[in-house]
Structure 1
Amino acid sequence: MGKELEYLDIAVKGWMHEARAKILAAFDEDLDVWTKSGRNDLVTNVDKEVEKFYSKNIHLLSPEANIIGEESFTQADLNMDGLTWFVDPIDGTMNFVKQHSHFVSMIAVYENGKGLRGYIYDVIEDKLYWGGPDIGVFCNNNKMRAPDNVFLKDGLIGIGAPYLIHNFFNLQAVALASSGTRIYGSAGIQIIHVIEGKCAGYVSYLRPWDFAAGKILAETLGLSVKMIDGTPLNMLISSDVLVATKNAQKDIAKLIKKS
């Protein structure tokens, strides 16, 4: 499987660099923007074009693979048998539209439910975070070390804005117990900050394509990736997800039990 994964890495990294060129070129064009579940849930023609580009290449590489993509998801996709690819063409579409920054492109590969490879590409910074349990995690060509296992009080915490504003799960107490709160509007960006050791944790309501790649990278680096109540994640359902150091996860678990 080693050689196959090596070829997979070369192929996927190539696709993501091609996608980056498409995304950056779109800044010089008029975007087509639609709403999905509400006025703050956007999708653009670029999201759709990039997902189609990824899906075409995935099927050429692996014709029998199942693809669970943000913009093409149907209930028929709910299957983890064999190879399953999770695709989020642009995570942080509001940031992409409004700021032209703070968004990522993500791909994850699982085999019979086991994570093989995660790829999170910070498009603007041209930093691709990738890897898996057999080789570790890299930022471009540099191997990353596991972040320090800090406690909540010693680190920043990323929290999805609605969760913090409405104090779901007593998360305002979690924020107050940390060194400070950060909100970026992109699960991929927030997870990058955790695996880099810039934040002790990140919690939000995430869909499978939001956390599939980050779960592989974070767990490979020894971080905890679970539902906020500490139970294991189901890769096929949306969940209240916490990515954190193991010490911060324990601290947060104590605080949310008081909610």
Structure 2
Amino acid sequence: MKRLAQQTKEERQKQAPDVSYKNGDRRNLVTDLDRANQRVLIEKVQSLDPEARFVCEEAGERRATTMAGQVWFIDPIDGTLNFVLEDRDYAIMMALYQDGEPVLGWICDVPAGRLFHGGKQTGVYMDNQALPVVKNQSLRDAVVIVSGRRLVVGEKPYGEMALQARAVRVIGSAGISFTRLFTGSAQAYLSKLSPWDLAAGRALAEGLGYQVKNLDGSLPNMLLSNSVLIATNEIHREISKMAKD
């Protein structure tokens, strides 16, 4: 994956990517490199497992309709708007699930050249460095990462959470947001996430002791979009209570 990340970085620096819009939404971009990266990753998995099933961000692949057995999740460029407009804060993500449970996740912070990988059974690593289990901080001491759009429109519990946290960040990439949790520069992340936004981060976050659940305490449906809170146990308790009150 790091080789693909380096190729993506070099292509972006050579020339502006070819951009189109999904469903006419000027904020929802797709580039030629999104499509090319997805194909590379799918072909790599299929070389090992010709019967592999996928849930991918970009169109053109038959999507898994059940989580039974093995399912691969691919986000070929996460944070495409950042990638196109700023050439920063974007990632490549992939994950393997078995019967609905996360097994392994990979998130490559492309600009920084860092690869986060692992899961509950293997431990979680940044390149070759093992990462420590998260400390159970409370909200008042935490940096929280949020969906900027949901904070602006006042969706519950974003406003109260932002007021009670030590600091709030809006990044625009699920993958990069997850890496902030893994390295300890943030302790909570709340956003509505598509399956490919969530899958790798969930595998890695749970491996580090974070709770990854919907605000009502239920587990995310990995075939649908979910409003998911990734946080320490204490922060999860505090924010879930705000959502109920």
Specify the TM-score bucket, using the shorter chain as the normaliser.
over 0.9
Question: May I ask how many residue pairs the two structures share in their alignment?
Answer: 243
What is the identity, as a one-letter code, of the residue corresponding to 1:203?
L
Is the alpha carbon distance of 1:73 and 1:183 closer, same or farther for their aligned partners in structure 2, counting shifts above 3 Å?
farther
Helix, strand or coil at the partner of 2:156:
helix
Counterpart residue number, 1:5: none
What is the identity, as a one-letter code, of the residue corresponding to 2:105?
G
1:113 & 1:23 partners in 2: Cα distance? 30
Q: Which runs of 5+ in 2 are unaligned?
A: none
2:208 & 2:239 partners in 1: Cα distance? 20
Is 1:26 matched with 2:11? yes
8 Å Cα contact 1:225/1:241 also seen in 2? yes
Task: Give the alignment partner of residue 95 of structure 1, picking from 66, 82, 90.
Answer: 82
CA deviations 1:102-146 (Å, max 9, x no partner) are: 001000001122211000100111110100111100000000001
Task: Give the alignment partner of residue 86 of structure 1, picking from 73, 76, 80.
Answer: 73
Is the alpha carbon distance of 1:76 and 1:55 closer, same or farther for their aligned partners in structure 2, counting shifts above 3 Å?
closer
Q: If the length of structure 2 is used for normalisation, what is the TM-score?
A: 0.95
Helix, strand or coil at the partner of 2:157:
helix
Is 1:126 matched with 2:99? no
8 Å Cα contact 2:54/2:63 also seen in 1? no
CA deviations 1:201-234 (Å, max 9, x no partner) are: 0011100000001111111111100012221111
Superposition deviation, residue 162 in structure 1: 1.2
Task: Give the alignment partner of residue 216 of structure 2, picking from 215, 225, 229.
Answer: 229
2:10 & 2:114 partners in 1: Cα distance? 18
Query: After the TM superposition, which segments of 4 or more aligned residues of structure 1 sit over 3 Å from their partners?
Result: 73-76
CA deviations 1:62-96 (Å, max 9, x no partner) are: 11110111003667422222211000011000000
8 Å Cα contact 1:91/1:104 also seen in 2? yes
8 Å Cα contact 1:203/1:228 also seen in 2? no
8 Å Cα contact 1:78/1:236 also seen in 2? yes
What is the identity, as a one-letter code, of the residue corresponding to 2:15?
E
Q: Percent identity?
A: 35
8 Å Cα contact 1:137/1:144 also seen in 2? yes
Counterpart residue number, 2:176: 189
2:162 & 2:68 partners in 1: Cα distance? 39
CA deviations 1:19-66 (Å, max 9, x no partner) are: 113211222023110111411111100000000110111111111110
Higher RCO, Cα 8 Å, sep 6+: 2
More moved, 72-81 vs 56-65:
72-81
2:228 & 2:62 partners in 1: Cα distance? 21
Counterpart residue number, 1:212: 199
Is 1:113 matched with 2:100? yes
Q: Which runs of 5+ in 1 are unaligned?
A: 1-15
Helix, strand or coil at the partner of 2:189:
strand
Q: If the length of structure 1 is used for normalisation, what is the TM-score?
A: 0.90
